Structure 1
Amino acid sequence: HLSKLSCPLAAYERRFPTCHLIPMFVDSEVLEETESEDGSIHQVQRRCKLDVDAPRLLKRIAGVDYVYFSQENTLNKRERTLHIESHNETFSNRVIIHELCSYSAHPENDDWTCFEQSASLDIKSFFGFESTVEKMAMKQYASSIKKGKEIIEFYLNQLEEEGISHVPRWTPSLDAPFSSSSSVTTKPVCATPTLLQLELPVTPLDADYIKRYLGDLTPLQESCLIRLRQWLQESHKGKIPKDEHILRFLRARDFNMEKAREILCQSLTWRKQHQVDYLLETWTSPQVLNDYYTGGWHHHDKEGRPLYILRLGQMDTKGLVRALGEESLLRHVLSINEEGLRRCEENTKVFGRPISCWTCLVDLEGLNMRHLWRPGVKALLRIIEVVEANYPETLGRLLILRAPRVFPVLWTLVSPFIDENTRKKFLIYAGNDYQGPGGLLDYIDKEVIPDFLGGECMVIPEGGLVPKSLYRTAEELENEDISLWTETIYQSASVFKGAPHEVVIEIIDASSVITWDFDVCKGDVVFHLYHSKRAPQTPRKDPLVGQHSSITTPGGNNVQLIDKSWTLGLDYSMVESPLTCKEGESVQGSHVTRWPGFYILQWKFHTMPGSASTNLPRVDDVLASLQVSSHKCKVMYYTEVIGSEDFRLRFLPSTLSFQCAPVLLSLTNPSSTSFCLFL
């Protein structure tokens, strides 16, 4: 807040054409100046010259000594607002800098001024110095925010010394025609003018109500809450969310009203579309969740926040996804979040202070590569995306306990999808060091620590493996429009007697890892992995099949790559022992490559003789075999290649490190050393 509105506007104009308080601000010139007929709107477009504090080498490479910015100021005397929009002209094809500033009257005291500022930086390319330029820009912008306030205060004091403590408000002359902003501006300066509309009546918040239900708010934060709530009342017909809910979205966007309004409106539409407000009354968890989902609400932490405990390491994530599908798991997680909101309201009443978020404790003992099953990770990422968009600022603290060696791999996959403000609330412990100073007892009372962490409360079941008899087929999941099996994750293939299905993977880095995950949907197959220095020939066109020798049937594809003239042990070699897989089995495996070249994954009919792989039948023989339905198998598979760096990350036995921008986390002897990670 800055004194009175008219004074800061007058002080702002004194920054031009130069400002000795900003050494980098060399000069400015007015390119265009317009004023509405009634004098209520004054627009000025300037070109500003800046001497950027950059290394001499960078200036030489860029070939410039000064940087030019375009600035457009719009002063609306009728609505008592000043909007300033700036963007760079220099290097605009390489770097895009966009800044918005606004001065407006406070909704409760129109003698006060509200100032809001935001900026975006997008570096496309900058001669290989992208990281350096980004750091410089962020550093200079951070310092300019503080400097901007000092400059306004300097010119305010200057006005006061000159005896100017009040500038009369603008009033229209009787003979001047009425003019609005649309009559003089060619583009809107503010994308959502209704958010800054100050002529509507505003209901102030009672101080006791704020303290009791919302917590400490600065006057500006309170103003943002009032204005956003009023905008919702004007624009949304129907149920308006509670102040606590609106406040979460404001906090999630650092009280940037335009951004908070956007994500809040999207969330309200989403809740209405999916009837989320009625989820707790309408959703009934399937029995398989009740039996095998290892999570639940349990008392509260020392700050009164509801406590949710999840034994992720003991959960059969693959079994749950295969038995329920992605959609049911998502609805279950949404019901957990809705229950969390309800518990926060209850705890607010019980403890007599605002409780707006909850604490989550995640036990990772038992986490292994099985939990990194690709469709399961994909389902997790979708859940994170939905929760982040619709339940911001509901997680107060996340305690991750007994993190195993494989945890950094999972973190690398999911952390880019987690909001930065949320990551700051993560505390991660390895081994059993959560029991020491700075551990679990600092956040949770001893009386409510669960038994599997050394406490006395028996709260969360161990889960166990979901029986495969509860698994649903790919067709059933497809019918429910769940994309786990229908997008690019899994492919279906048919295996015929005399016609195996083969997939080729080219390896450049000899220390890579080939991983596979397949289900035998019908029949019995034998799985092989071969290596060849020669590239297999692509399926050739054959008139008997139509186009290519890869056969397409309603049950899937059949592709043969190993040429019938190749000899095992000469043209190609076996690098994994044959694996016989029965109908209904789900198989995951990996192979560390020792040589570059071409690796061929092969699924072959079980009853075929082992030597048949060296003498593949002709296409007409394969077509004849299709007539015998009992000689057909079906597999659903997914393959992935892990690079050498990722392989060392996942399997290095003694020292484990991983890069998760912008923080580097390293852990030595993870079974005995604890660490806390504050992101």
Structure 2
Amino acid sequence: MSNCVPTIDHQFQLETDYIQRYLGQLTLLQESCLVQLREWVANLQRGKVPSDQTLLRFLRARDFNVEKARETLSQSLVWRKKHQVDRILSEYRTPQVVQNYFPGCWHHIDKDGRPIYLLRLGQMDVKGLIKSIGEEGLMQLTLHVCEEGLQLMEEITRTLGRPVSTWSLLVDLEGLNMRHLWRPGIRALLNIIEMVEANYPETMGRVLIIRAPRVFPILWTLVSTFIDEHTRSKFLFYGGNDYQAAGGLVDYIPQEYIPDFLGGPCKTHGLAAPNTVPRVLYSAHFQDGTAAMVVEGGLVPKGLYLTGSELEKEGGPLTDDSIYHSISLGRGQVHEALILNDDPGSVITWDFDVMRQDVVFTVLRTRVPVLAHSPSGALQTIQNMNPLATDPEHRSVIDKTWKEGQDYFRVESPVVCHDGESIQGSHVSSHVGTYILQWKLHSGHPLDLIDSITAPKAQIMYYYEKLKSADYKGSMSSLQSGNSAFSALSNRSVSSSCPSR
């Protein structure tokens, strides 16, 4: 069945020169679909009507099915009006913390004439930025970048005399580590992906992922299923310095535009060529008229964070801590999260904040599956009477008679995590059994009985997740098919117990 009306009426045709200059090659059927969608929008909209380029993007995203394109376009137009997106280019003001710590900007054009957005994600303090500008601030920044991209494509199309309808994204992952797996940050990324896919379809021409470290497959497992399959096909991945070899950046970006920190000669960002693109359109040029290199990112000072009440005003998933468990630990107490694993090759990830005092964190595995303690009767009575007794929530499931290396195994070495630190990590499982995430209060000196009762308790908020081996292996397969450089990563353990500060 055809997606569009099979017969072509002359009223549904456009000027040939206009098509070649602004839209690109279209069949008569595609041209007819475009005109029909345009007429529907013109009858519906009062005021500004989306450009033919925009209509064409929605049609392509729905394989030129006019009805489906009309439905998604209608939803997007309502969304744009609700969020006043048409005013964002003129009204948005880049927050100072973004100017100082957000490592992204528009950077020249690629060999196909597409504007390039450069993002040094590995140097980005995701948690610090979100806590400084909130979810709404992050979304406004993203919208501003997307609207800039649309305007840049229009400018380049007029300048080159041929259609440029997509942009390129160059993502440098050097510095990416487990702190980038902070769950509110992951959720923010998923919200952004959902927003872009719904309202800016068919704008991504190519995504170059470079200097991807071994932790990247974990991140890719978490987010790749939320990216449209057609969009995923546009991703190219490079581990280590493979981006400098044949088939790397030089195949897609002119040599003179490869940034100096990637081994290229380019030390400036902004103009693609003299008089090609207005400087004012580049986000690296701020409202005060100054030009800037893409910043290197770095940790956002906590003094710039929004207060709890300011974050609560936003609401939404970034301020909803319901996925996190909050616990307190006194002297001699232990808290354990038990993860029953019958799927060797699955990936266990954890994310926790130390809110008070210092704790010792480690990961264990039992030879046979175990269950949490559920004491009752006389034992429960004794615990209620003794303030120092360890209740079930604060007692290890590791029996005192068990031997390490025989009955249980330490799969991640103990690490001391200090007050105020945020820790993220992962472990690729290799056996069935129970994996145990364990926290203990850390004390640098022995305490007597009175001190043990009155000493401040440690407090942590934690979250953990087990990723299926099939999902993880599927992500590795997609990475390897995108670029063979990832084959070296597939056999490595993607684990870390190092705290991210």
TM category, shorter: 0.7 to 0.9
Aligned to 2:327: 493
Query: Which of residues 503, 508, 515 in structure 1 aligns to 2:349?
Result: 515
- CA offset at residue 340 of structure 1? 0.6
Aligned to 1:163: none
Aligned to 2:461: 636
What is the TM-score normalised by the length of structure 1? 0.57
- CA offset at residue 242 of structure 1? 1.5
Preserved CA contact (<8 Å) 2:334 2:395 = no
Whole-angstrom CA distance in 1 between matches of 2:154 and 2:102: 26
User: Secondary structure of the equivalent of 1:567?
Assistant: coil
Whole-angstrom CA distance in 2 between matches of 1:539 and 1:666: 53
One-letter code of the match for 1:659? S
Distance change (3 Å), C-alpha of 1:342 and 1:563: closer
One-letter code of the match for 2:400? T
> Aligned pair 1:658/2:471, yes or no?
no
Preserved CA contact (<8 Å) 1:659 1:665 = no
Whole-angstrom CA distance in 2 between matches of 1:366 and 1:257: 44
Higher relative contact order (CA 8 A, sep 6+): 2
> Aligned pair 1:304/2:113, yes or no?
yes
- CA offset at residue 570 of structure 1? 6.8
Preserved CA contact (<8 Å) 2:336 2:396 = no
The Cα offsets for residues 575-628 of structure 1, whole Å up to 9 and x where unpaired, read as 36654433211123445667654444344444599899xxxx9xxxxxx97xx7
Query: Which of residues 444, 453, 464 in structure 1 aligns to 2:262?
Result: 453
- CA offset at residue 288 of structure 1? 2.3
Whole-angstrom CA distance in 2 between matches of 1:594 and 1:413: 20
Aligned to 2:283: none
One-letter code of the match for 2:357? G
Preserved CA contact (<8 Å) 2:373 2:397 = no
Query: Which of residues 472, 476, 481 in structure 1 aligns to 2:315?
Result: 481
Whole-angstrom CA distance in 2 between matches of 1:530 and 1:444: 47
Residues 485-494 or 447-456, more deviating:
485-494
Query: Which of residues 164, 169, 172 in structure 2 aligns to 1:363?
Result: 172
Preserved CA contact (<8 Å) 1:313 1:366 = yes
> Aligned pair 1:441/2:441, yes or no?
no
Aligned to 1:567: 400
Structure 2 stretches of 5 or more lacking a match? Answer: 268-292, 385-390, 490-501
Normalized per residue, the structure richer in helix is 2
One-letter code of the match for 2:36? R
> Aligned pair 1:208/2:41, yes or no?
no
| Percent sequence identity over aligned pairs | 52
Preserved CA contact (<8 Å) 1:536 1:561 = no
Whole-angstrom CA distance in 2 between matches of 1:284 and 1:240: 26
Query: Which of residues 417, 420, 432 in structure 2 aligns to 1:584?
Result: 420
Query: Superposed, which structure 2 residues align to 1:270-669 within 5 Å?
Result: 270-458=79-267, 459-471=293-305, 477-484=311-318, 486=320, 489-496=323-330, 500-508=334-342, 514-527=348-361, 529=363, 534-538=370-374, 560=393, 562=395, 567=400, 569=402, 575=410, 578-590=414-426, 596-607=432-443, 631-642=456-467, 658-660=476-478, 667=485
One-letter code of the match for 2:341? I
Whole-angstrom CA distance in 2 between matches of 1:436 and 1:238: 51
- CA offset at residue 437 of structure 1? 4.1
Distance change (3 Å), C-alpha of 1:271 and 1:578: same
Aligned to 2:10: 108
How many equivalent pairs are there? 450
Distance change (3 Å), C-alpha of 1:668 and 1:327: closer
Whole-angstrom CA distance in 2 between matches of 1:102 and 1:643: 41
Preserved CA contact (<8 Å) 2:480 2:486 = no
Whole-angstrom CA distance in 2 between matches of 1:374 and 1:637: 10
Normalized per residue, the structure richer in strand is 1
- CA offset at residue 568 of structure 1? 6.6
Distance change (3 Å), C-alpha of 1:469 and 1:528: farther
Preserved CA contact (<8 Å) 1:299 1:307 = yes
User: Secondary structure of the equivalent of 2:108?
Assistant: strand
Preserved CA contact (<8 Å) 1:305 1:359 = yes
Distance change (3 Å), C-alpha of 1:324 and 1:568: farther
Over the aligned positions, Cα root-mean-square deviation in angstroms equals 4.1
One-letter code of the match for 1:504? L
Preserved CA contact (<8 Å) 1:360 1:395 = yes
Whole-angstrom CA distance in 1 between matches of 2:328 and 2:5: 67
User: Secondary structure of the equivalent of 1:392?
Assistant: coil
Preserved CA contact (<8 Å) 1:527 1:604 = yes
Distance change (3 Å), C-alpha of 1:538 and 1:382: farther
Whole-angstrom CA distance in 1 between matches of 2:245 and 2:338: 51
What is the TM-score normalised by the length of structure 2? 0.75
Distance change (3 Å), C-alpha of 1:221 and 1:402: same
- CA offset at residue 386 of structure 1? 0.8
One-letter code of the match for 2:393? Q
Preserved CA contact (<8 Å) 1:248 1:393 = yes
- CA offset at residue 526 of structure 1? 3.9
> Aligned pair 1:267/2:76, yes or no?
yes
Whole-angstrom CA distance in 2 between matches of 1:562 and 1:432: 48
Max Rg structure: 1
